[in-house]
Amino acid sequence: MNCTKCKTKAVIGLPRHNAAFCKSCFNGFVHDQVARAIKSEKMFGREDRILVAVSGGKDSLALWDILLKLGYRADALYVNLGIGTYSVQSHSKVTKFAEAVATSHGATLHLQTVEQEAGAGIKELAQLIHRPTCSTCGTIKRYQFNRVAIKQQYDVMATGHNLDDEAARLLGNVLHWQEEYLDKQGPSLPASVEGFAKKVKPLYRLSERELAAYAVLNRIDYIVEECPMAKGSKVLLYKEVLNRLETESPGTKQMFYWGFLEKQSTKQPTATTMTEKDRAVLHPCTSCSQPTTAEVCSYCKMMARAKTVATR
Amino acid sequence: MDGIFPSLGDGLALPDSDSVYPITHPHPLPLACLEDYDPLMQVQLSHPARTVEVEGPKKVKELLRELNLVVEAHLVIKGDDLVTEDEMLYDGDQIEIRPVISGGSPRFTPHVSRLTSQE
């Protein structure tokens, strides 16, 4: 198989684009897809300060690498979740990448530890408050990333969600007809109220396989092992189903998610926009001042409950 | 003498059997066995981490099909290099099949010729 662009030996075939690329042309393709996502969704500009949420996985490290190579001002935040050897390894991968690549671009890595912030790791917290680990993890990560982005005055927060993540999430929402979540499935969410950072997903045009290939080809050392808490997750099942469809019918994932985005953008504007809706229901948490629909935000409620149970 | 031959005093020394013949291979293979030995393709898999031996030659896409793996969810790495689905793989090649889905493959039942190790 030869590269579609330069005709040398290809290292990856991309059936959904009816193309194959050598390393150099593949890097060009990946950078171009991210640049197109940033421009078309008006994610950020050259002067904006970006905070990338990194986990030690392929997507977030690839995102940080790509943004730095495209010349953006991108720092990163890693939240150590306290999941045994998995967190030890992922922490090590992130710090190694920061030392080897990011520092030379003048970028900074911020570190947070759930155990220091909350007094226990994710697993222990979830057990204390009788909530699923992944849901506890999501609440804590979203809260901590937003807090750091606001406190350190970043213009925008970027996450490594890729095409597979978004297509799987959309499938889950459609299967359960959770229409109220569809508005928030876009790759660029505005800072609708004070205290919420703008959130963007610059990798939504790239598949999980393409990002893994980018990491391997560019010698980005990422954590391949699965998160021990994610076993049996529904999202994994949706991804598996979508990948079977994609193999039989290349382009299925992008048609599903990008088609959804197109429909959303051409939809008749409703009486109230997402920003207006947010402004109507969100106000500062009485405990920490971050935006919430309740009197006390879910993070503060969770921490209060964990403290009560722990002191019994 | 320190190291390979621990001293027994008075200048006497006996070979350290672990050093001369490592525990994993206590006896050298007879020559006839070595002549018949045909190293198969070594394929490293994840979730859980294990190595399987597969007979070559065969194309990457045939290997994935034989292992019941979906192309879209995996990368195939030969040595240090990514390879495309039409690449031919041979006996003796060191291959890694790396899952690309964050969180791993939830339902994976490989049909393989020989399982050589399991962690």
Q: What is the pLDDT of residues A64-85, one digit of tens each?
A: 999 999 999 999 999 999 888 9
Per-residue model confidence as pLDDT tens for chain B (119 residues): 444 444 444 444 444 444 444 444 444 555 555 555 668 999 999 888 899 999 989 999 999 999 999 999 999 999 989 999 999 999 999 999 999 987 544 333 333 444 444 33
Radius of gyration (C-alpha) of chain B in whole angstroms = 21
Contacts of A234 in chain B (CB under 8 A): none
Lowest mean pLDDT among A88-102, A218-232, B45-59: A218-232
A1–B74: do the CB atoms touch at under 8 Å? no
Class of CATH domain A23-272: alpha beta
Place of tokens 């009197």: A295
Maximum C-alpha span of chain B: 68
Write out chain B residues lying below 8 Å of A21, CB-based. Answer: none
Residue of A nearest to B83 (CA): A11
How far is B93 from chain A, CA to nearest CA, in Å? Answer: 17
Considering only CB atoms, B103 lies closest to which of A12, A226, A246, namely A226
Enumerate domains of chain B plus CATH numbers: 1-37 (no CATH), 38-118 (3.10.20.30)
Given A12, A207, A239, which is nearest B82 (Cβ)? Answer: A12
3-class DSSP state for residue A70? coil
Q: Where are the domains of chain A?
A: 23-272
Residues in contact with B88: Cβ distance below 8 Å, sequence separation at least 6, in sequence order: B57, B58, B59
Q: What is the pLDDT of residue A277?
A: 76
What is the nearest CA distance from A242 to chain B, expressed in angstroms?
A: 9
- Among A1, A20, A208, whose Cβ lies nearest the Cβ of B102? A208
Q: Which residues of A touch B87 (CB under 8 A)?
A: 1
- Whether residue A104 is predicted with pLDDT greater than 90 in this model: the reply is yes
Q: Does A161 touch chain B (CB under 8 A)?
A: no
C-alpha–C-alpha distance, residues A68 and A60, integer Å: 12
Q: Give A250→chain B minimum CA distance, Å.
A: 9
Q: Is the pLDDT of residue A247 over 60?
A: yes
Q: Given an 8 Å threshold on Cβ–Cβ distance, is A212 in contact with B104?
A: no
User: Residue A272's pLDDT band (boundaries 50, 70, 90)?
Assistant: low
**Closest by Cβ to B104, choosing from A11, A12, A226:** A226
Burial A27-57 (b: 16+ CB within 10 A, else e): bebbeebbeebbeebebbeeeeebbbbbbbb
Which residue out of A21, A223, A225 would a mutagenesis test of the B interface target, given it has the greatest number of B Cβ atoms within 10 Å? A225
Total-model pTM: 0.83
| Per-chain mean pLDDT for chain A | 91
For A243, which of B73, B84, B98 is closest by C-beta distance? B73
Nearest-10 crossing angle of helices A133-151, A122-129: 120
Q: Which of B100, B108, B109, B119 to mutate to test the interface with A (most CBs of A within 10 A)?
A: B100
ipTM score for this prediction = 0.85
Give residue B4's pLDDT.
44
